Chain A
Amino acid sequence: DTEVTQTPKHLVMGMTNKKSLKCEQHMGHRAMYWYKQKAKKPPELMFVYSYEKLSINESVPSRFSPECPNSSLLNLHLHALQPEDSALYLCASSQGFSYSHGYTFGSGTRLTVV
């Protein structure tokens, strides 16, 4: 299995809703990442988990809450989002060191906040 699976593919939520994005990989990768991508822009790093511990939080607002239940799963919990949070949310995984391979990205969740 060489894929990163993200669900759901599309999500529309109101500003008072609570929802979660899910990401799963079975490649044995010990680093997992959440990225946010706006149209015509490169991916922007949000969070990094290394060996199931949060290593980086790029000053992301608390309405985004990451969780890594085990080495294969990564969640992003969403609460009280704003319309400007509408974007493509990408999950990626990798080995801890680049000597093996770069990132494997999922197909993303297209999030619309109304």
Chain B
Amino acid sequence: GENVEQHPSTLSVQEGDSAVIKCTYSDSASNYFPWYKQELGKGPQLIIDIRSNVGEKKDQRIAVTLNKTAKHFSLHITETQPEDSAVYFCAATTDSGGYQKVTFGTGTKLQVIP
């Protein structure tokens, strides 16, 4: 089955600096890579995603890159703000008989220091 590794497990940055979270996956059948942000006491929220036929995607301060050959994908947050503090999960997805089969990474706790 799919295996997703995520690094680092914790990340502290000064407000205004950039943050980078990296993930690797193992199953070449995975074709969709969402990133979820989970704030304390809440459910995960999808913040950005990328499909296997795309190398990079950007949405304001957030960008995601995918290297399909190396099976690597990364989340980049620029100009970090205190409200970016949360746990971030990467995920690799395959389509399977009418539902999405998702394998989550282990999570990165991001702390933005004002």
Contact = CB atoms under 8 A, between A and B. Distances in A.
A51 to B, nearest CB: 6
26 contacts: A30-B98, A40-B107, A42-B89, A42-B104, A42-B107, A43-B44, A45-B102, A55-B98, A56-B99, A90-B43, A95-B100, A96-B99, A97-B95, A98-B32, A98-B51, A98-B93, A98-B100, A99-B51, A102-B34, A102-B36, A102-B49, A102-B91, A103-B34, A103-B100, A105-B36, A106-B43
B114 interface: no
B18 interface: no
A110 B42 CA distance: 10
Contacts of A96: 95, 98-100
B12 interface: no
A75 interface: no
Interface residues of B, number: 26
A94 B99 contact: yes
Contact of B98 (A51, A103, A105, A106): A51
Interface residues of A, number: 32
Given A31-B100, A33-B99, A92-B43, 5 more contacts: A31-B98, A42-B105, A94-B100, A96-B98, A102-B102
A49 B70 CA distance: 33
Given A42-B104, A42-B106, A98-B31, A105 B44 contact: yes
Nearest to B45: A105
B99 A55 contact: yes
Nearest to B42: A107
Contacts of B113: none
A107 B45 CA distance: 9
Nearest to B30: A98
A104 interface: yes
A41 B100 contact: no
Given A40-B107, A41-B107, A103 B97 contact: no
